[in-house]
Amino acid sequence: MRILLASSEVHPYSKTGGLADMVGSLAKTLARAGHRVGVVTPLYAGIRERFPELKQLDLPLDLPLGPRRVRGEVWSLEPMPGLTVYFVDQPAFYERADLYQEEGVDYPDNAERFIFFSKAAAHLALHLDWHPEVLHLHDWQASVATLLIHHQRKQTGEGTTPGICLTIHNLAYQGLFPAAQYALTNLPRDYFTPAGVEFYGQLGCLKAGIVYADVITTVSPRYAREITTEEMGCGLDGLLRLRNSSLVGILNGVDYDVWNTINNPYLKHPYSSADLSGKAANKLELQKEFGLPIDASLPLFGGIGRLAEQKGVEITLGALEEMLTTNMQFVAVGTGAPAFQRAYLDLARRHPAQVSVRIGFDEGLSHRIEGGCDFFVMPSRFEPCGLNQMYGLRYGTIPIVRTTGGLDDTVIDVREDAEKANGIKFIEYSSTALAKSIRKALVLFDQPELLRHFRLNGMSADFSWDRTITQYLQAYQQTLAASRKSNR
């Protein structure tokens, strides 16, 4: 099959979160399985320097963007047989300090930046010489390409456009912009209606994808159900219920080539389920790295990720205020809302022997937290899939999670299955409920054999992409069938 993916971030070229990991791993696994795969992504600052083997493609971009035309170039890279990464080079849009925002504030021209990116993705889908059969778009930043392809399909008829698969990684981020920005699409006003891309008077980029994609996927089965409810649907639940027959939940996979405990450049001491001594040694190294007392007898909890309300930062801070009266340690790395950053740093200042926090993103440190901690705290308000809890399971670090989205799909609590238990779950979104789960973790830590049982269960769980890829290929076949039907 010939598949072109489009994403605003792709590991190892750019990354702010799990989206980049997912797209990079999916592309690699599809190519490894023998499919022809391309990935379209912006050429952000620093990529050219880190990957000097980039080659310019003879496919210049000269695209309308509202009243003006914007030019760009396409550069390519072939990291493995069957896989080509296409970088959209437009320095005014992408040569910036960060991908989407600076100091917590979105770039004011994000509509221009990512409608241009969507146009570039659609242009490549229609003009690459290997003629992709499926265009797989990811999140709002690429979603306007769905509308562009739909319009092209209406103009030229059957067989002229690829089928469109859209993956929603997080429905809360919809790419909403003032109505005037619709002019950037250069499409007839007919699409700017409540049945089309208009969302309460605004342009809804993600809504465009949901309305016009042939198939819609989300990143876990439970999240696919949750987003059709009023509580979790972010105002789009009615539309998603209408499109329910085209909605599929597919749990993200984990790239075990990268996230493993044996051949990992970020871990000083390798370990496995057969020999956990390296994990114990990594814990001591992590305590030292964070400047905490080095003591194997103290249970070490960790957190990684965006410091945002979605991730349960508020209830984590509340639970820690209560639980730091016990003998435990907590380390975290992340960046996000300035108020949450200050709150974490203040907690560390007041409890220097128990809490240590690094503000920022550090790939290596993320591996060391997963490898060195006893427990991983991930109490999200909602979580479409989550990857860190799956990384934690493979690293023998027991996740403490709330029963939502992919967290519920991947972690097994002792109350669900004592024999297969690999983590601790709670239901109520509150500091009290999280604190109670941390108490359960402390009790578990004092029972070495039971702790080992949980760890080994987690390390044996299989969330590999080889398992997941079959479901994506089925979704692509469904996409092709739906696109042929819509062309009739």
Q: Is the pLDDT of residue 60 over 70?
A: yes
State how many domains the chain has.
2
Looking at residue 158, what is its pLDDT?
A: 60
Percent of the chain with pLDDT over 90: 93
Indicate whether 488 pLDDT > 70: no
Q: Given this model, what pLDDT does residue 103 score?
A: 79
Residue 237 lies in a domain: yes
Confidence of residue 243 (pLDDT cuts 50, 70, 90): very high
| Predicted TM-score (pTM) above 0.75 | yes
Which of 249, 235, 137, 153 has its CA nearest to residue 194?
235
Q: Are residues 220 and 300 in the same domain?
A: no
Instruction: Note whether 231 and 184 are same-domain residues.
Output: yes
Residues 443, 477 share a domain:
no
For residues 64 and 10, membership in a common domain is answered with yes
Under the banding of pLDDT at 50, 70 and 90, the label for residue 306 is: confident
If asked whether residues 476 and 388 sit together in one domain, one would say no
Does 477 lie in the same domain as 335?
Answer: no
- For residue 121, the tally of other CB atoms under 10 A from its CB is 28
**Domain-embedded: residue 13:** yes
Please indicate, yes or no, if residue 260 is contained in any of the structural domains.
no
Residues 41 and 189 in one domain: yes
Residue 233 dihedral angles phi and psi, to the nearest 5°? -85, -5
Band of pLDDT at residue 156, cut at 50, 70 and 90: confident
* Exposure of 92 in the CB half-sphere (CA atoms within 13 A): 7
Based on the domain organization, do 245 and 293 belong to the same domain?
no
Give yes or no: residues 448 and 470 share one domain: no
Query: Are 458 and 471 members of one domain?
Result: no
pLDDT digits (tens, 9 = 90+) for 159-188: 679 999 999 999 999 999 999 999 999 999
267 within some domain: no
One-letter amino acid at 187 equals L
- The answer to whether position 263 is within a domain reads no
Provide the Cα torsion 268, 273, 275, 279; round to 10°. Answer: 40
Reported confidence tier of residue 5, pLDDT bands at 50, 70, 90: very high
> Does the pLDDT of residue 484 top 90, yes or no?
no
Band (470; pLDDT cuts 50, 70, 90): very high
- Residue 408 has what pLDDT? 96
Half-sphere exposure of 415 (CA within 13 A, CB side): 8
Residues 73-126: pLDDT tens digits? 999 999 999 999 999 999 999 999 999 998 779 999 999 999 999 999 999 999
- Whether 167 and 67 map to the same domain: the answer is yes
The Cα-based distances of 321 to 7, 234, 239, 339, 442 in angstroms read 39, 31, 41, 16, 16
What CATH number should be reported for the domain holding residue 79? 3.40.50.2000
Q: Is residue 310 part of a domain?
A: yes
Classify residue 55: in a domain, yes or no: yes
Q: Is residue 154 part of a domain?
A: yes
d(CA 123, CA 209): 16
Respond yes or no on whether the N-terminal peptide bond of residue 12 is cis (omega within 30° of 0): yes
**What would the pLDDT profile of 200-216 be if each residue is shown by its tens digit?**
999 999 999 999 999 99
pLDDT category of residue 486 using cuts at 50, 70 and 90 = low
Average pLDDT, the chain: 96
Residues 305 and 206 in one domain: no
Domain of 208, in residue numbers: 2-253+466-486
The predicted pLDDT at position 190 comes to 95
Q: What is the pLDDT of residue 487?
A: 57
Q: What is the rounded average pLDDT of the residues 393-409?
A: 97
